[in-house]
Structure 1
Amino acid sequence: MTMCGRRVRGLGLALLIGFVALPAQAQDARLCLSGSNTVGQKLAPMLVKGWAERQGWALHGESRPALDETRLTLATPRGALVVDILAHGTSTGFDALREGRCDLWMASRAVRDAEIGAAAALGRLYEQGQEHVIALDGLAVIVHPSNRLRALTVEQVRNAFAGRVRDWAQLGGTPGPIVLHARDDRSGTYDTFRALVMGDVALSGAATRYESTAQLAAAVAADPRAIGFVGLAGVDGARALALSERGTVPLAPDALSVATEDYVLARRLFLYSRERPRAEVQALLDFVLGPGGQAVVEQVGFVPQDIRALAQRAPDNAEYRALVAGARRLSLNFRFGEGAAVLDNKAVEDIERLARFMRAPAQAGHELLLIGFADRSESTPLEALSLSNDRVDLVAAELRAEGLRVARQRGLGQIAPVASNDNAEGRLRNRRVEVWIRPIAAPR
């Protein structure tokens, strides 16, 4: 459903400077964020503090009322504003938003169709004004730093967490029992792991379960036999493995592979709001999505959505390699629904981010290249080639409408998959338009 968002142009002055004048508030007003531990443990408190600093408000107090809960008291000119951050898992935040107990739902997965229906009174949670991608994350499969393995396939990880493989020697490691650590059932991190790794296969009952990312990472970092999974910012003293699926090369979770969502376990982190949030809630959202909030995202250890030009190894395919010769990859992809050429919510925002990036003085004298791809389920190779060109043409038209120079656009069909075509998530990653940048060639 996230592919269906309506387009809303511009974030306005509030996003650009991070300040919104708020109406007078009662003494000890309250703002609440509830849900994902991945978002709520470190990121959400830091975002609230950054927002308060931008507003010129002092942090009057910080406490931990319970495990995975943070209370921040902000001293504003209109009285105290108490911000409660309840990080007990993605599903708990949906209930809190639907029942009116919290203002923002922190989620480490996209809203589900059933949740959209159950919360219809709040508006359309899948639309751009209510679904806010705040950061990118890579779900890291972690081991002890002394583990000699550097890469696994997703199938190997699945077999280990299902209990089908019980000794590290079966995976090419040092002989010894595999000790499993996993997030609990309320966690959006576990939801993502189950969707992208486990599928219909049950998690082994031998796995130790955790509500807290930090506790899980600490347990893995302390045991050479351990394996677990956390968000990228939660790796701490453990080490993340590179992962691959059938037909793809192993990729470790890093700034480029996560920003482009090419990494097989890349995911989006969200805030969801009701249709017309209160002024202070909207002001916080504007800060989070703007440059100040995205700087905090990077500081905490997640991948921000600002655009950067990064080096990438040359593609294996000769035609693909020739198209991007002399260019650098930009840190975003545009993704599409099956058989569709419609921008999703993040893509709509990325058009505007890319326009701001290209208008900066550092990009003067540069032009864009767009390379489109399809997945192997999209009919015949010829039709897939046509569809990949349609997607490139759509992105090119949006960028030219922003006054940007697109030097070349080409669809390459079903080549160069970054994920398996055997599942829906993998096919979504393969339906993409990549963006590259290069200097404008001097006229001959």
Structure 2
Amino acid sequence: MFRYINLLLGCLAFQAGTFVQAETIVIMGSDTIGAKAALHLAEAYKSRVARTNPEIGFEISAEGSSTGVVSITEGHADIGMISRRPSTAENARAKTKGVDLKTITVARDGIAVVVNDQNPIESISLAELEAIFTGEIRDWAAISTTAGRISVYTRNTASGTYDLFRAKAMSGRDYGKNSQKVAGNEQIASEIARNPNAIGYVGLAYTETPGIKVVPVEGMLPKADEYPLRRTLYYLVDKNIRLSQAANDFIGFTLSPQGQHIIEEVEFLPLY
């Protein structure tokens, strides 16, 4: 699902009788970052600079990591958001446009495997995840004490999480035909909360949704150092373009102690 968050409060203003056009920082890409963390960071940054730059605005759209790469390659955004590194093909395409993609690490995350909170399963192995998400196992009776046809929810193909989960949990194999693609983390969590036989995956920031529970993978929860589905979250910029002072400051704010505290508050893992 397309997400668009508009924080253009006070975007146009009159100062001392002069019309002032506000600066808008455009951020596009990963739903994992954009639907929660980027919004909270933008609100905090606006509050921080309210006296010196009250007309600063943000446009944040969260549609998936692939969109984040395209937004920088095509010059549609100041900052991209991605939950994976750009592929070789994406880097090559960017270079044909005169764009040099640069990633900036902003947080750590764990892809949490989640089920309905009425599901009795207490842990799951990578082999079981692979069998479920490729469609080889279709009933909970194969790995649990209760039976029921498994409903599998995944992110869509624009999502970095979709690709990373396939690489880390499925040995790179294709998702089963019985899987259902959903646009965002919140939608997956909502579907699982309504369906006692459902399973899916979300970023750490979405694990507190009522009606779902996190299932340890290989006996480990997502915040464990050795958790097998850990990943890094990034901002993406064009190294060949000089960012505006405000956009550059916002990136610095994200990496500052205050920004990293916000990262931690939304349940991601801070850098320090």
What range is the shorter-chain TM-score in?
0.7 to 0.9
1:202 corresponds to which residue? 174
Which ranges of structure 2 fall in alignment gaps of 5 or more residues? 1-18
Deviations 1:27-56 (A, max 9, x none): 032211111000010110111111112223
One-letter identity of the residue aligned with 1:91: S
Which of 1 and 2 has higher RCO (CA within 8 Å, sep 6+)?
Answer: 2
Q: What residue number does 1:228 align with?
A: 200
Amino acid at match of 1:253: P
What is the Cα-based RMSD across aligned positions, in Å?
A: 1.7
Q: How many residues align?
A: 248
Question: Is the CA contact 2:167–2:173 (under 8 Å) kept in the aligned structure 1?
Answer: no
Q: Which residue of 2 is the match for residue 147 of structure 1?
A: 119
Give yes or no for the alignment of 1:171 onto 2:128. Answer: no
Alignment-derived partner of residue 230 in structure 2? 266
Matched, 1:47 2:22: no
CA deviation string 1:307-330 (max 9, x = no partner): xxxxxxxxxxxxxxxxxxxxxxxx
| Counterpart Cα distance in 2 of 1:142 and 1:233 | 13
1: CA distance, partners of 2:41 / 2:183:
22
Whether 2:216 is the aligned partner of 1:239: answer no
Cα gap change, 1:122 to 1:271, in 2 (>3 Å):
same
Query: Stretches of 4+ moved more than 3 A in 1?
Result: none
The whole-number CA distance in structure 2 between the counterparts of 1:98 and 1:54 is 30
How high is the TM-score relative to the length of structure 1?
Answer: 0.54
> 1:283: which partner in 2?
249
Q: Please point out which of 68, 80, 83 is paired with 1:105.
A: 80
**Equivalents in 2 of 1:162, 1:274: separation in Å?**
36
Q: How far apart, in 1, do the equivalents of 2:31 and 2:263 lie? A: 15
Read off the aligned partner of 2:237 and give its amino acid letter.
S
Unaligned runs of 5+ in 1: 1-24, 58-74, 245-249, 307-444
Q: Which structure: larger Rg?
A: 1
In the other structure, the counterpart of 1:430 is none
The equivalent residue for 2:10 is none
Q: Deviations over 1:254-305 (max 9, x none)?
A: 2xx1xx4x21001011001122322111100100011011011011111111
Conserved in 2, the CA contact under 8 Å of 1:147 and 1:173? no
Task: Output the amino acid matched with 2:75.
Answer: G
Find the aligned partners of 2:108 and 2:172 in 1 and give their Cα distance.
26
1:26 to partner: Cα distance: 5.5
Separation in 2 of the partners of 1:197 and 1:267?
Answer: 12
SS at match of 2:124: strand
Is the CA contact 1:136–1:266 (under 8 Å) kept in the aligned structure 2? Answer: yes
